[in-house]
Amino acid sequence: MRGIGRKSDSAPLFNIGVLPPIWGIYIAQGVLGGLTFAGLPTILRSQHVSLGKIGQLSLVMLIWAIKFLWAQPVERLRISTTGRRHSRKIILAGECVTAGILCVIAFWPPRLFSGLFVLLLCAAVSATIVDIACDAFLIEQIPEKNRGKGNMAQVGGAYIGLVLGGSIFITLYGALGWRADCFIMAFIVLALTAPMFFYDLEDRNIFSASFQGSRPGLLKALRRKEIWCGIVLTITYEMSGRLVQGLTGPFLIDHGISLNAVGIFNGIGGVVSGLCGTAAGGMLVGKIGAKNAMYIITTLHTILLTYIFYLIEQDFFNVSILVALLVCEAALMASSFVASYSQLMTFTSLDQPGIDFTLFQSASAIAAASLGGIGAFLAGKIGYNQVFLISDVLSLITISFFLFFNNFILKYNPK
């Protein structure tokens, strides 16, 4: 069900491409994530909120893990029975709601944690609705051969938003106070949403009508082999990196690195490595395709994990070398997301891309939460070296899995 490209006589107010709106929305989404998981914990602690309550912020992540539950009504609202798409309207409305909630939060003292937590949950629900619509918008508006550029926006936007919602939010709080800080974040979200307002090409594309019998549905997605294959691919491809992703900070702390140095590593180092990995992943997908890019990235990840395990096993601890290796590991993780998103989008149906891709992202979020917890638990029981060894073995399994999985990819997506 592809658009046939018929257009009305009206012209867009500004002739902008599809990438600026997509970058803007994904950065705005990242702002809320950075604010919730990086900026707010620091500010709440400065207000003497207990660590137990601050830890509850991680529960907001559950909203992203279960967003597939409301993907069907969102997708049915986005796709009308006439074939018209309403992605832009949903995205614009959702971002306005998110900005409005940030304005309400501005009048809510951070020390009143319960109410703040409820508001953050509401903002997260709004953000997931935007995410469902924007992912579908990307799949429909960008040709398959160029989707790598859109996937770069998905991953790179999250890193840029992390800086805005984390470091910048904390800095503004120290300079201007809570209320002004929240208002500025709300303004940033709206400013980043503005390019989507001016992009009206979606309104001029005509799609085949969607009859009631073929309306988007969650069960319809779960009946398709491609969806289950994509879910298995998501979990298998990410399990190695997710297992050790949250261990870098504790690992460095336990080996005598100062908290400030670890903060800089996780902050500046994480964002820079993430953006570099995003760019590298996008270029690799553009040159050799998503399937080959995923295979190469996994191979490099396996080699890197093997080397890190060897150094830890030999009690070698040169700070500069190990930090450099961990930065490379973070960059490979970012590039792997770009490649996997590009591949997973080929498994989505143009009848309901919002539902299909949301299932993959929910699987990713569930894998991240569960494997991150397992990795931390194992590190405490058997040591960092053994966890990196397990991660290395899982990466080898992923390479072997690709040899089998490639046949399925060629069957359903021979390009």
Please spell the DSSP secondary structure of 192-247, one letter per residue: HHHHHHH--GGGG-------GGG---HHHHHT-HHHHHHHHHHHHHHHHHHHHHTT
CA 348 from chain centre, in angstroms, equals 17
Determine the 3-state secondary structure of 15 from DSSP.
coil
- What pLDDT is attached to residue 22? 94
Per-residue pLDDT, 281: 92
What pLDDT score does 208 carry?
54
Q: How far is CA 377 from CA 168, 374, 383, in A?
A: 32, 5, 10
**pLDDT higher than 90, residue 249:** no
Q: What is the pLDDT of residues 78-99, one digit of tens each?
A: 998 877 889 999 999 999 999 9
pTM of the full structure = 0.86
238, 360 contact by CB (below 8 A): no
Mean pLDDT of the chain, nearest integer: 85
Mean pLDDT, range 152-172, rounded to an integer? 90
* Nearest C-alpha neighbor of 137 from the set 193, 98, 217: 193
For the four alpha carbons of 232, 250, 164 and 104, in that order, the dihedral sign comes to positive
pLDDT > 60? residue 140 = yes
Q: Say what the pLDDT of residue 51 is.
A: 76
Q: What is the pLDDT of residues 285-336, one digit of tens each?
A: 989 988 889 989 999 999 999 988 888 888 777 777 888 888 898 899 999 9
Q: Which residue, among 237, 253, 334, 242, has the nearest Cα to 294 in the 3D structure?
A: 237
Average pLDDT over residues 30-43: 88
**Is 218-412 in the same CATH topology as 19-211?**
yes
Half-sphere exposure of 2 (CA within 13 A, CB side): 7
Per-residue model confidence (pLDDT) at position 110:
83
Q: Which CATH number fits domain 218-412: 1.20.1250.20, 3.90.870.30, 3.30.565.10, 2.60.40.2550?
A: 1.20.1250.20
pLDDT band at 210 (very low <50, low <70, confident <90, very high): low
Distance CA 392, CA 241 (A): 9
pLDDT at 7: 42
In this prediction, residue 5 carries a pLDDT of: 40
Secondary structure letter of residue 49 according to DSSP: -
Please count the helices (runs of H) and the strands (runs of E) in the chain.
19, 0
216-247 pLDDT, tens digit each = 899 999 999 889 989 998 999 989 988 888 77
- Give residues with Cβ within 8 angstroms of 167, minimum separation 6: 38, 39, 267
Task: Compute the CA torsion angle 183, 365, 144, 404 (nearest 10 deg).
Answer: 170
Fold (topology level) of 19-211: Growth Hormone; Chain: A; (1.20.1250)
**226-230, long-range: CB < 8 A, 24+ apart:** 226/347, 226/412, 227/347, 227/356, 227/359, 229/347, 229/405, 229/408, 229/412, 230/344, 230/347, 230/356, 230/359, 230/360
* Burial 241-260, CB ≥16 within 10 A → b, else e: bbbbbbbbbebbeeeebeee
| In the block, residue with structure tokens 């270029």 | 283
- Please tell me which residue, 13 or 16, carries the higher pLDDT value: 16
Q: Tell me what the mean pLDDT of segment 190-199 comes to.
A: 91
Nearest to 93 by CA among 79, 80, 76, 74: 74
Tell me what pLDDT residue 336 has: 92
Banded pLDDT at 362 (limits 50, 70, 90) = very high
More confident of the two residues 202 and 331: 331
pLDDT at 260: 67
What pLDDT was estimated at residue 192? 96
Query: Any residues with CB less than 8 A from the CB of 339 and at least 6 apart, and which?
Result: 151, 281, 284, 285, 290, 293, 294, 297
Task: Return the DSSP state at 16.
Answer: -
Alpha-carbon span 130 to 30, nearest angstrom: 12
Question: CA–CA separation, 354 vs 23, rounded Å?
Answer: 18
Segment (H or E) for 133:
helix 113-141
- For the CA atoms of 166, 171, 173, 174, the dihedral, rounded to the nearest 10 degrees, stands at 140
Report the pLDDT value the prediction gives residue 4, as an integer from 0 to 100.
Answer: 38
d(CA 294, CA 166): 30
Please compute the mean of the pLDDT values over residues 252-256 and round it to a whole number.
Answer: 74
pLDDT band at 16 (very low <50, low <70, confident <90, very high): low
Answer yes or no: is pLDDT of 408 > 70.
no
Domain ranges, ordered by start, for the chain: 19-211, 218-412
